[in-house]
Amino acid sequence: MTIQWFPGHMAKARREVEEKLKLVDFVVELVDARAPLSSQNPMLQQVLQDKTKMVVLMKKDLADQQRTQQWISYFQDLNITAVAVNVNDKADIKRIIQLAKQLGQTKMDKLAKKGIRPRPARAMIVGIPNVGKSTLINRLANKKIAKTGDKPGVTKQQLWIKVGKDFELLDTPGILWPKFEDEQVGLRLAAIGTIKDQLLPLQDIVAFVISYMQEYYPSQLRERYNLDETMQDMWDIFELIGKQRGALESGGHVNFDKVADLVLRDLRTGRLGNITLEVPEEDGI
């Protein structure tokens, strides 16, 4: 299965990222802590090439803490600065600013040696849609600057933002790549709400989530839905969840679409517990 979704504004955004890259000292790339590798844009990696980069694992409060630490180690092994954040935690926001200052210091030292007056470090913030970029920018700037929303593709243009006296951020629209060759990548991104729900059948997304949780998080499935991990038939699983949660239609039959919708809601809001949908040693390169 190949999923294709490449609106015109994303093609334009790629060109603008390429053009503006020379204006910044380093790049802040946001990924979703629940799927850190899948939420990295491979097309964007080509554009960034050897640019100094910090990877910020967003929504750590929804992710498996142990897995998050494994992913941070994964990026650090690639000599990439990595940090996990909850945008509502002020300590996490301060940590990002501290790391940004450290990354920008090399550039500032070079300017000082040339007799040029130091300026704030400049960074470009990039990431795929709906990863929480606008919310993070507002936290970093300590005021509402970037428009936020729970739908992919809210930011449509580039914008410079001052983060105190420490550094300046160049905001960019979220950029997806033209198509997902790997079905697993598409399913992970659909599950966490990064790509539009309409791109994949909701029941297929939820079947993927349940199968994954049966392997890695069986106790959380059992706690939420009283689902025995020995139950394998997805039809029976949907029926069980639907009857328990009242996802019924006229005649008392289970509505599978309603079941899919409520399971996705439970996943995205954390009601299913802290879950990460890929493992470094299995999905990392």
Q: DSSP label at 214?
A: H
Alpha carbons 264 and 108: distance in angstroms, whole number: 46
User: Measuring CA to CA, which residue among 158, 199, 167, 185 is closest to residue 285?
Assistant: 185
Q: What residues pair up with 121 in beta bridges, in sequence order?
A: 167
What CATH number has the domain spanning 201-275? 1.10.1580.10
* pTM to 2 decimal places: 0.86
Q: Can you tell me which residue has the tokens 């606008």?
A: 134
Q: Which amino acid is at 146?
A: A
Q: Where in the chain is the domain with CATH 3.40.50.300?
A: 3-179
Distance of CA 162 to the CA centre of its chain: 23
Token pair in block for residue 44: 């964007």
Q: What is the pLDDT of residue 55?
A: 96
Q: What is the pLDDT of residue 112?
A: 84
Name the superfamily (CATH) of residues 3-179: P-loop containing nucleotide triphosphate hydrolases (3.40.50.300)
Per-residue pLDDT of the chain (285 residues; tens, 9 = 90+): 555 555 555 667 677 778 888 888 899 999 999 999 999 887 777 778 788 899 999 999 999 999 999 999 999 999 999 999 999 999 999 999 999 888 888 778 888 888 888 788 889 888 888 888 889 988 998 877 655 444 444 444 556 788 877 788 888 766 665 566 788 888 999 999 987 777 788 999 999 999 999 999 999 999 999 988 788 899 999 999 999 999 998 888 999 999 999 999 999 999 999 999 999 876 555
Q: What is the pLDDT of residue 116?
A: 84
Q: Determine the angle formed by the axes of helices 256-268 and 234-245, rounding to 10 degrees.
A: 80
Cβ atoms of 44 and 175 closer than 8 Å: yes
User: Measuring CA to CA, which residue among 216, 276, 280 is closest to residue 60?
Assistant: 276
